[in-house]
Structure 1
């Protein structure tokens, strides 16, 4: 999914949620969830767009109608130490595309 498609879907109100996935190396990628599928936000070279922060994402989407967003970060410490039993879920922190001052 490119920025044009993301904008068109946002205008139609078809975006359920954007997941900003925290990855090793200090950057993020965006996964856009629709009703029956999820797609990664791609750059002009059709590669996953590397996003530096929530502020960077807000700047990219400043002209796009707002939709729900969540920052997703996996807890590698729990996975490495293995101290908890059962499935280990990601930390999910909702945020808004509105500029915060």
Structure 2
């Protein structure tokens, strides 16, 4: 999904959530959830848009109507140290496009 399409969906209140996925190397990817699926935010070359931070995402989306957002980070300490039982959960922190964390 490109920025133009994201803006259209936001204007129609169709975006259920944007997940800002924290990856190794300080790179973030945005995944947009609609009722009919999930889509990665793409750049002008139709490649996944690499974001640097929440402020960078806010800068990119400054003209887009607001919608729910969440920062998603996997708990690497549990993966490195091991867990006795159960799956390793992810950390989900809600944030706003209009206000700082």
Q: TM-score range, shorter-chain basis?
A: over 0.9
Given the alignment of the two structures, is residue 3 of structure 1 paired with residue 3 of structure 2, yes or no?
A: yes
Alignment of structure 1 residues 1-101 onto 2, 5 Å: 1-100=1-100
Report how many residues are paired.
101
- By how many angstroms is 1:84 displaced? 4.0
* Structure 1 gap segments, 5+ residues each: none
Compute the displacement of 1:22 (Å). 0.1
**C-alpha distance 84-55 of structure 1, shift in aligned 2 (>3 A):** farther
RMSD: 1.3
- C-alpha distance in 2 between matches for 1:15 and 1:49: 18
Distance in 2 between residues matched to 1:33 and 1:98, nearest whole Å:
19
Q: TM-score of the superposition, structure 1-length normalised? A: 0.95
